Structure 1
Amino acid sequence: MHVLLDNLGLFRRGFVGTVQLTVVSATVALLLGGILTLFRIGPVPLLRAIGAGAVTLLCNTPLTLLFFGVTLGLPMLGLTDLSYFTLAVVALSAYSSAFLCEALRSGVNTVDTGQAEAARSLGLTFPQTALLVVLPQAGRAVLPPMSSVIITLAKNSALAGGFSVFEMFTVEKTLIEQGYAVTTVFLWVGLAYLVLIACISAVFRFLEWRLAVPR
């Protein structure tokens, strides 16, 4: 217990950093995933090809390699003012957006085609039909797999600690370097991630209950 109490400020800073990284990355990933889904289900062949190519590339690229590509590649392109936190958000959100896109696209297949046809008969354009009719229903249907992607994102955020972002993995490294027992530090850091994941699961369970369709 003294490991936690003696380093409470360090644990608090690391936990807050992990929460911030998870929340910001998840928000950006949901936005990017929605855009990729629109590309993949859209009527324009070029956009469908771009969406499919982006998803294939991101899903099959190791996240560590993507971190290196972002943190080393973007500064080489002249984007030197970006913080390490921002670069970590770019890597995590881009990677997770591909899996969210696949989850949303599977949800689109559960929406009756008559819904889209009815929307078009009312004069709605494709973007309006997708954003107002199809995607809301698809998102409600795929909340469980989406929660799994966000939970994975939270756990993957530990990689950011190796790229100068202060979060829970940084706390673990710091305390081990100071001579604290590895097992004790690991247990406290693991407990912090467990609390974060439990909160994410609770949010999605609430959304599932709130958005459930009466049967």
Structure 2
Amino acid sequence: MAYGHKTEYRLRVRAQVVLHAARGRSNARIARESGLHLDTVRRWLSNDALKPWQYRSWIFITDPDFRPKAERVLDLYARTWQGTPLGEDEYVISADEKTSIQARCRCHPTLAAGQARAMRVNPTYGRGGALAYLAAYDIHAAKVFGRTEPTTGIDPFMNLVAQVMTREPYASAKRRSGSWTTDPPTAGKGLPTGWPRRSRTR
């Protein structure tokens, strides 16, 4: 196949578009500076084989004790603790928290869909301030226990622990031990003696 001057110029322009994208420029800026249509820039980048502008976030391990900590967590996920299988009345709970959730309530009720009418949602809402959401997850039963609190810390975390450990089947477990894994590390401080301790790996 013979390539003319226009084809070579087109390939150079296309390579420049890929280079600009790899340097973090937006599609709109590339189109504006190169004189191309925005759809052309999007199509070229979508069809490019390398896509050097794409990346994945990666956290490098900085904890020297990461391996033994991770092994404990993975063993619990596999229902094993210190080489011994967990009993039927032993449970693994994972907990986490989300801060600064904007609490909003709609000012008008949503109307259900009807015959020849789509559901109607009014976009107006009232602000309820910022709340923290804490959740505990039973790894093997796939159960989630959640609650909202005005803030995070030891007391809100203990409220979550009590919410889980005072209900069945956890309240009547023969051995109330295991692992509560939380992040950040301040959340799990203050657990009573004999209650599960949290660990953090990164």
TM-score interval, normalised by the smaller of the two chains: under 0.3
TM-score (norm 1): 0.21
| Structure of larger gyration radius | 2
Larger fraction in helix: 1
TM-score (norm 2): 0.22
Larger fraction in strand: 2
